[in-house]
Amino acid sequence: MQIYKAPLRDMRFVLHELLDAKQLSKLPGYEEATADTIDTIIEEGAKFCQDKLLPLNRVGDEEGCTYENGVVRTPPGFKQAYNDFVGAGWQSISSDPNYGGQGLPALMNFVIEEMVCSTNIAFGVYPLLSRGAASLIERHGSDDIKETYLPHLADGSWSGTMCLTESQCGTDLGLIRTKAVPAGNGKYSISGSKIFISAGEHDLSENIIHLVLAKLPDAPEGVRGISLFLVPKLSVNGRGTAAEVGSRNGVACGSIEKKMGIHGSATCVINFDEAEGYLIGDPHKGLRCMFTMMNGARLGVGMQGLALGETAYQSATAYAKERRSGKSLTKGTKSADVADPIIVHPDVRNMLLTARAYNEGARALAYWTALQLDLSTHHPDAETRRDADEIVQLMTPVIKAFLTDRGFEAANLAVQVHGGHGYISEHGIEQLVRDARIAQLYEGTNGIQALDLVGRKLSLHTGRLLRHFFHPATEFVETNQETEELKDLVLPLAKALEKLQQATLVIAQKGLGDPEEAAAVATDYLKMFGLVAVGYMWLLMAEKAVAKAADANGDARFYANKLKTAQFYMHKLLPDASAAFLRIMTGKYAAAQFNEEDF
């Protein structure tokens, strides 16, 4: 059975004790983000998700979305849940307050997103895309567009999508064929067909705002010739709060996909037939704008990985405590006809702790990155903003890929803990595997994330982005190598960090001469980076836990468990970094020696 109770204690630990999230309330515009507000929001959010979204998760999977004559219906209960969701203001917590948003830190949105996706990832797709569309319009839209569209996206009456993929191209967007022709009055006529459009058509909102990549008639070839257009499903009359939906625009849903998981999320073919649209940003510079949305979405997808990992861990733990089979090898019951709960078995514990140690470490890494995102937009000092932004740039591919890989791994382990029952649909555990799988694919496959990390993020400003991670991590390790309570944890990380430095230098050097050398080890490198980054988070958490353990009162067990989990991470999970390191050092040779005919 899917079990989920929002891990509020752990969230508060990360938010308050590790990150001191109330520091955000000192930033102009974020004054309301006090510790109390933060706690209230996550508690209310937890209730909503547990009470309204979790119960819909199974039915959403079983019933899925349906398509008939261009109309898409979401699973039963979704519409009501959506109305409740937007009605309670969850859609707009970190949206621009000038346009109906609540203007709270993006960090809060991350926490909410985690809980939403833990309880119902398919549902979570809809608000994620609306939020992404809104942030793109906030950054790149004209005042007119902002006034007309943002309030409706904030109150959820309209929702958003991003339309990039076409049947002939996904990653390689230079090949898109959708056309945009100037139609006078600053409007454009958009024609073409997009596939894999999440939330492309549904019955949750009154209107759907598509953000569409297309080519103008005079567009240069390739990725330098892509423009971005806003295309509403229903045309919009008037502007600002007076904006009203009018007649149907030339936008139609051709079909929806049958797919492995997230059945409650409508994945649509969207056809544009001389649809009326508006240019966002400069002509031919649309990809840059779209990256605002994609980067946000990549972080959001990373949160989906963590979210499912958490549900998987909780469900598997509950089952392992309950299910009796076999006997403990040391201290189990003596009675011949009663078995021990399977949690006594070392192998089961290893599986549970693997999921847990990754989840808690990933949560710290993700929230830390989200905090940087807020600093990058709201800090008064330009240099702090730049540094924070660079951390976000560096960590985006790591969060997206590493967290979704670990989330999938956790879901898979949950099935394993359940044994054969995990494979049976009725228990709802196999759904987690199917749902988790998509996060490794969309918003740029994890392979693409790895290329982004080694090909782009590493080399930017001769490695300046890396400085924001390596310098504090190295300093922490150097400072705490002799700290009595920490040194057992510091030593393994120090070694892994040194190897990561070495691997980074080797990739940078080899990659200069032969980009394939870097590409061939990109996935290994991203994994290694993720392992070390999460390991560093574990050190920071352990430091706090040691400090708090002394006067912990009722929380002593929480801090003790933190330290134990840190130990588990350092000794059972971090060693994977060594294997990744060895693979990186091998370089491209092992695979490159095959010719295409050899396959």
Partner 1 sequence: MAINKVAVIGAGLMGGGIAAHVANAGTDVILLDIVPEGAKKRSQLALDSVERLLKTEPAPFMDKKNAKRIACGNIEDDLKLLADADWIIEAVIEKLEIKHEIYRLINKVRKPGSIVSSNTSTIPCSDLMRGMDESFQRDFLITHFFNPPRYMRLLEIVKGEKTSDDAVYTVSEFSDMNLGKGVVACKDTPGFIANRIGTFWIQAAVVEAFKGTVTIEEADAAIGRALGIPKTGIFGLMDLVGIDLMPLVGKSLYDAVPMDDAYRAIYSEPEQIKSMIAEGLIGRKGKGGFYRLNNEDGKKTKQVIDLATGAYSTAQRPTPASVRAAGKSPRALFEHGDAVSDFAWQVMSQTLVYATELIPEIAQDVVAVDKAMTLGYAWKHGPFELIDRIGASWFTERLKTEGRNIPALLASAAEKGGFYRVEGGRLQYLSTDDEYVTVKRAPGILLLSDIKRAGEPITRNGSASLWDIGSGVACLEFHTKMNAIDPDVLNMLSKSVEIVSRDYKALVLHNEGTNYSVGVNLGLALFAANVAAWQVMEDMIKRGQDVFKELKFAPFPVVGAPSGMALGGGCESLLHCDAVQAHAESYIGLVEVGVGLIPGWGGCKELLVRGLTGKRGGIFGGGAMPVISKLFQTIGLAKVSRSAAQAFGYGYLREGDRITFNRDRLLADARDYALELAENYQTPEPQEIKLPGNSARVALMMAVRGLAKTRKATPHDLTVVEQLGIVLTGGKTDTTEALCEDDISALERKALATLAKNPLTLARMEHMLETGKPLRN
What residues are labeled active site?
443
Q: Do 457 and 393 contact (CB within 8 A), yes or no?
A: yes
Exposure b/e, 477-508, CB count within 10 A at least 16 = b: beebeeeeebeebbebbbbbbebbeebbebbb
Stretch that binds partner 1, among 243-251, 344-352, 414-422, 495-503 (CB under 8 A): 495-503
Q: Do 308 and 121 contact (CB within 8 A), yes or no?
A: yes
Radius of gyration over every alpha carbon of the chain, rounded to an integer in angstroms: 24
Out of 25, 34, 165, 501, the only residue in the binding site for partner 1 (CB under 8 A) is 501
Out of 509, 564, 571, 582, the only residue in the binding site for partner 1 (CB under 8 A) is 509
Out of 169, 183, 260, 505, the only residue in the binding site for partner 1 (CB under 8 A) is 505
CB of 504 to partner 1, least distance (A): 5
Residue 315 CA to residue 311 CA, distance in Å, equals 6
Q: Do 457 and 397 contact (CB within 8 A), yes or no?
A: yes
Stretch that binds partner 1, among 59-67, 189-197, 269-277, 459-467 (CB under 8 A): 459-467
CB of 368 to partner 1, least distance (A): 18
Cβ proximity to partner 1: between 498 and 555 the closer is 498
Out of 177, 386, 464, 487, the only residue in the binding site for partner 1 (CB under 8 A) is 464
CB of 508 to partner 1, least distance (A): 5
CB of 471 to partner 1, least distance (A): 5
Q: Do 211 and 280 contact (CB within 8 A), yes or no?
A: yes
Cβ proximity to partner 1: between 79 and 285 the closer is 285
Q: How many residues in the chain?
A: 599
Q: Do 280 and 228 contact (CB within 8 A), yes or no?
A: yes
CB of 539 to partner 1, least distance (A): 15
CB of 511 to partner 1, least distance (A): 11
Q: Do 19 and 371 contact (CB within 8 A), yes or no?
A: yes
Stretch that binds partner 1, among 24-32, 113-121, 462-470, 484-492 (CB under 8 A): 462-470
Cβ proximity to partner 1: between 351 and 473 the closer is 473
Q: Do 199 and 265 contact (CB within 8 A), yes or no?
A: yes
Out of 350, 462, 483, 586, the only residue in the binding site for partner 1 (CB under 8 A) is 462
CB of 477 to partner 1, least distance (A): 9
Out of 470, 485, 516, 544, the only residue in the binding site for partner 1 (CB under 8 A) is 470
Closest to 263 in 3D by CA, of 430, 114, 122:
122
Cβ proximity to partner 1: between 386 and 564 the closer is 386
Quickly list DSSP for 48-107. Answer: HIIIIIHHHHHHHHHH--EEETTEEEPPTTHHHHHHHHHHTTGGGTTS-GGGT-----HH
Quote the tokens at residue 290: 């779209």
Out of 466, 528, 533, 577, the only residue in the binding site for partner 1 (CB under 8 A) is 466
Binding of residue 461 to partner 1 (CB under 8 A): yes
Cβ proximity to partner 1: between 165 and 474 the closer is 474
Residue 223 CA to residue 469 CA, distance in Å, equals 31
Map residue 273 onto helix, strand or coil: strand
Out of 59, 508, 519, 549, the only residue in the binding site for partner 1 (CB under 8 A) is 508
**Beta strand 71-73 pairing with 66-68:** antiparallel
CB of 57 to partner 1, least distance (A): 42
Q: Is the torsion defined by CA of 33, 39, 44, 45 positive or negative?
A: positive
Stretch that binds partner 1, among 31-39, 202-210, 334-342, 507-515 (CB under 8 A): 507-515
Binding of residue 260 to partner 1 (CB under 8 A): no
Q: Please count the residues of this chain forming the interface with partner 1, following the rule CB under 8 A.
A: 22
Distances (CA, A) of 290 to 287, 446, 552: 5, 19, 47
CB of 473 to partner 1, least distance (A): 8
Closest to 11 in 3D by CA, of 319, 310, 304, 406:
310
Cβ proximity to partner 1: between 505 and 547 the closer is 505
Stretch that binds partner 1, among 127-135, 393-401, 486-494, 496-504 (CB under 8 A): 496-504
Out of 295, 504, 523, 565, the only residue in the binding site for partner 1 (CB under 8 A) is 504
Binding of residue 467 to partner 1 (CB under 8 A): yes
Stretch that binds partner 1, among 27-35, 261-269, 502-510, 576-584 (CB under 8 A): 502-510
Stretch that binds partner 1, among 53-61, 172-180, 364-372, 463-471 (CB under 8 A): 463-471
- The half-sphere exposure of 38 on its side-chain side, counting CA atoms within 13 A, is 26
Restricting to residues 148-187, name those near partner 1 by CB under 8 A.
none
Q: Do 539 and 480 contact (CB within 8 A), yes or no?
A: yes
Q: Do 299 and 369 contact (CB within 8 A), yes or no?
A: yes
Binding of residue 456 to partner 1 (CB under 8 A): no
Percentage helix, strand, coil, to 5, in the chain?
65, 15, 25
Cβ proximity to partner 1: between 356 and 457 the closer is 457
Restricting to residues 547-586, name those near partner 1 by CB under 8 A.
none
CB of 474 to partner 1, least distance (A): 4
- The half-sphere exposure of 515 on its side-chain side, counting CA atoms within 13 A, is 6
Restricting to residues 200-259, name those near partner 1 by CB under 8 A.
220-221
Torsion-angle region of residue 65: left (phi > 0), alpha (psi -120 to 50) or beta? beta
Interacting residues with partner 1 (CB under 8 A) = 220-221, 461-464, 466-467, 470-471, 473-475, 498, 500-502, 504-505, 508-509, 513
